[in-house]
Structure 1
């Protein structure tokens, strides 16, 4: 197999803050993260000192190893139990001081990229009576919904990630409503895409509301009657200051992106089942195809080249860093058939997907 130059396309990354949340949880269940972190050459203190981020695949492997070590398949729920607003950085401070649950849910979704970036999708907050778009079809929901995007299919590498995000959101949202004069059930239902696990009672006990597995999305359905109630522990001046800082950081992230990176992001989000053309991507970026071509030309590239590079980079990441089947990867990358994907992969690597994956499995072992 010839050596492949690493692509700038990755599955995404997350803040070291989530690793700190995992470490706190590990300590409380008498686990030992030291050998796991050493295995992946990760230092929480060094990452923290430099505002560091961790690749999503590495984070998932660390979590999987911790589940294996502690035999706690409910690691994600445990992380949700131990979350605090500090784990969300400045976004956490904005959420902690927001005037109502509606605003809090909005900022959790709007500024997610300050802490976590998934190249295939991002969290959303949708108001009451909306249409939730999903690969399997659109679903109409009558209540406001805070949704989390995750790569399927699911296993112990990524189920705990879904669990930890939903459980953390639940804990933070309910913490704010505890200060109301009367008891308020702010979360009406929890939706989870993967099938019902053997320990589903643990989920019902944690969320204290209907938990719907095999759903069309991952998310919390909120109670529309209560999301606009002013929260007694809110501080508008602190919220505005924190929100402005979050927006400033988000603007810097977006301004520092070149047009090639912007196209890669849109292509990655819209590859599933098809190949988006330049007209679609230009519309998503709020520009014309002609203007987009000109801007890419100034960066010494073109749309087709970016499309090829993006598919290649994602293909290598999916085969190397996930347990997705090769037919599923083919679909996620917009290939017409698995055979077309196999042919392209062999052209990129002079190897089959199976052999390429096995090479990295052997290196880790």
Structure 2
């Protein structure tokens, strides 16, 4: 996958649960030694696939159970390294959310957390911004449960969420979700979101440590600049392609113009990252097509249109080339 420039630092997650993850590493293209080092930098797409594959064999609520400490007797602690320690050392929740928004890229490329204040409520949004990653229930639930647990811990459990939204379809069993969040839950939403009372923003953290934060912040700022330089352009190109698929306007010239480059400059920047523009377009189309095919309410004609094909027959030929099956045969097989 050409978008392998996106990476995530495994920190202690894979180490602490090595016996759970080890059997499935090779199936997602990862070497077995990634569970032996806390500083392993893993391709983000492989990491997300590893979570999904392991969950299929071990537990459908794998991401949440890891955060809740239900799968290991190991001592609890941050799965986010220096980034996690610095976040918990900020002065209050507002500062913590601002810190996470700015420095999350240090832990993982193409991860985004934003927050908004609306009429007495704080809305915290989380998403993967790599459009080629479409199956990410475990990552979403790991992130949302991790955010929930962290906010409860650093505020001394003084606040409770008002609602939690997930972008993936509702699982067959949501009893763990209900026991964990204890608030209204919604699935199949546009984005992962958690709603809290606005008063939480000014709450001082019980874990605040100004000296530790001042020691870690310069290091994290250097890491942030390095990682943004590595992948910011790739993210912008990918998002532009995904946003223009329906219009069919995903040629190099059109995307370059939208991003403010000349076609030659964009081509050169892609070559510097060992990326091929046409391959990138096709990978995003394939990922989107497979995600849309899982939604039985979408017709083949509608999917073809959304992906920029003027005729369903053209989409059918492309889909057969990608998967070896026609769209209808693929749906019958997956059912």
Return the alpha-carbon distance in structure 2 between the equivalents of residues 67 and 146 of structure 1: 26
Deviations 1:87-132 (A, max 9, x none): 11221122110111122122223222222234xxx42312212xxx
1:114 maps to what in 2? 106
Distance 1:177 1:49, change over 3 A: closer
Return the alpha-carbon distance in structure 2 between the equivalents of residues 35 and 332 of structure 1: 38
Deviations 1:293-321 (A, max 9, x none): 563376598xxx975342123345667xx
Specify which of 137, 151, 157 is matched with residue 173 of structure 1: 151
TM-score (norm 1): 0.68
1:15 maps to what in 2? 9
Q: Offset of 1:23 from its aligned partner?
A: 5.8
Q: Contact 1:91–1:107 (CA<8 Å) still a contact in 2?
A: no
Q: Offset of 1:205 from its aligned partner?
A: 0.6
Equivalence map 1:1-365=2 (5 Å): 8-10=2-4, 12-17=6-11, 20-21=12-13, 24=16, 32-40=20-28, 41-45=30-34, 48=37, 51-56=40-45, 58-70=46-58, 72-82=59-69, 86-118=78-110, 122-129=111-118, 143-150=121-128, 158-178=136-156, 183-256=157-230, 261=234, 264-268=237-241, 270-271=243-244, 273-274=246-247, 275=249, 289=260, 292-293=262-263, 295-296=265-266, 308-315=278-285, 325=293, 333-335=307-309, 338-342=312-316, 345=318, 352-355=321-324
1:136 maps to what in 2? none
Distance 1:44 1:306, change over 3 A: closer
Q: Contact 1:273–1:334 (CA<8 Å) still a contact in 2?
A: yes
Structure 2 unpaired stretches of 5+: 71-75, 295-299, 328-335
2:332 maps to what in 1? none
Distance 1:257 1:116, change over 3 A: closer
Structure 1 unpaired stretches of 5+: 1-6, 130-140, 359-365
* CA-atom RMSD in angstroms: 4.1
Report the number of matched residues.
309
Q: Offset of 1:206 from its aligned partner?
A: 0.7
Return the alpha-carbon distance in structure 2 between the equivalents of residues 64 and 300 of structure 1: 30
